[in-house]
Amino acid sequence: MSLSLLHSAIAAPDRLCAYDHCRVPLPWFIWSRRTDLTSRLRRRILALEYGQPLSAVGTVHIALAACLHFLRGTREIVLVWRSRQAACRTGYGVPGGRQLIELFVSTFRYNFPPLHYYRARLFRITRSRWLDLFSHAETTRILAVFEQATQHLGLWTKSGWARFCADHGIPTIPVAAQAVRGELQVNEAAWLQPGRDLFLKPDRDYSGRGGVMLEWDAAANGWRASGAVSASVPGSALDGFLRSHSHDDAFVVQPRLRNAAPLADLAARALVNIRIVTLHAPDGTITLLMAALRLPLGDHPTSDVVGSTLCIPIDVATGEMGEGECARLEMGTCARHPLTGVPLKGRVIPEWPQMREQAIATHRLVPSVPSIGWDFVATETGVFILEANAVWNGYLAQHWGRAPLGETPWPALMLIPTPDATPEKEWVRRE
């Protein structure tokens, strides 16, 4: 047998293995023959992963996949449990033995990867609802289909969003300049003058990671850069810094704003980010799927900090905040900010009615997209929509006491045909 044939023979069961959701109809996998919307959507997501619906496989392949799944799954369960059980016990009081048992159940009965048990906080959810949860990878894959179908729109990049807002009179933070692969285009020169704080963020379509805050230091007659880059920028060298920093990427430069007084005690430097996800049904009805406030635990310049962003659910009807959680299991739930002690639970966002209505009104301008995640900020100078996201965080939408996505109208919307890509003149990307 050649090496290539040997490699294929070994790899075949691994490709069939039901490790990040069932790729073969294993007898214990309880949604493989279900016809509910959640199970139908999961099968569609798997078909997207492979580019086509899954074909039938033989009994031998099923047996090989089952054996491999058991061996690999058991090893992964032990590794994940050893690395996280202590933190989960400290933060949530869940005994290590219960965690281990539930890890085996979630992996071999429900085919969830062991990490999903901790990331989705399955220990806080009754087992009857586990199948209604979607992983972040699953939501991202299906949401990306709708994003790609409307990629002719300039809506998903920071610069495209600014143009869309200008065309429709939507309040957003202005773009003072754009830096694209070493080239600088200035829109508002006054904002770039010495003495003003600035914020530099990637122009890409998802995530604010990679942002740089430029704070003016009068004593040094220059800016202090923090965030993705730490540097001192002389007052006369801003253009050179922006060109150099954008050598391999595209960035937008915006004036730095500060949180409105009612939210100012939640974050020292970063703007408190409020994510609102709206759903646009085929009949034109627009509803709120979820809302959450996000802020950094420490003195970070941005709210999007890997592993330590504190996320607090918001009641979509009243704007009342719940208990916060973050990726660090040992923190558990937080009724107060874990570092400053300021209250979180029960606090009401004064600007909530305005944000809610603005999200619904703006989604009406984009009827071809069934769901959009809007990032709002309440600042000293008003409420703004920072950006629109066709792909929003699946775990954020389900954590912190919210209903699993399978119990919402979202699966039905994701099963409708992909919207066509007919350009609409207001949204055409301007090259």
- Specify the pLDDT at position 204: 78
Nearest-angstrom CA–CA distance, 394 and 370: 15
pLDDT 10s digits, 23-51: 666 666 666 667 889 888 988 887 777 66
**Between residues 395 and 263, which one has the greater pLDDT?**
263
Q: What angle do CA 94, 310, 208 make, to 5 degrees?
A: 135
- Work out the average pLDDT over 71-86: 94
Give the strands of the sheet with 371-379, arranged side by side: 309-313, 286-296, 273-280, 371-379, 382-389
- Specify the pLDDT at position 258: 93
- Work out the average pLDDT over 355-378: 95
Q: 136-150, 246-260, 317-331: which has the minimum mean pLDDT? A: 136-150
pLDDT 10s digits, 120-162: 999 999 998 998 998 888 899 999 888 887 766 678 889 999 9
Calculate what percentage of the chain has a pLDDT beyond 90.
54
If you average pLDDT over every residue of the chain, what do you get?
85
User: What does the DSSP 8-state code read for residue 148?
Assistant: H
CA-CA distances (angstroms) from residue 225 to 241, 245, 261? 10, 11, 25
Looking only at the bridges linking them, the beta strands covering 273-280 and 371-379 are: antiparallel
DSSP assignments along 31-70, one per residue: TTT--SHHHHHHHHHHHHHHTSPPPP--HHHHHHHHHHHH
Calculate what percentage of the chain has a pLDDT beyond 70.
85
Q: Which of 175, 270, 256, 174 is nearest to 214 (CA)?
A: 256
Looking only at the bridges linking them, the beta strands covering 198-202 and 212-217 are: antiparallel
**Between residues 402 and 125, which one has the greater pLDDT?**
125
Q: Looking at the DSSP assignment, which residues form a beta bridge with residue 291?
A: 276
User: What does the DSSP 8-state code read for residue 145?
Assistant: H
pTM, full prediction? 0.88
pLDDT 10s digits, 254-302: 999 999 999 999 998 899 999 999 999 999 999 999 999 999 888 888 8
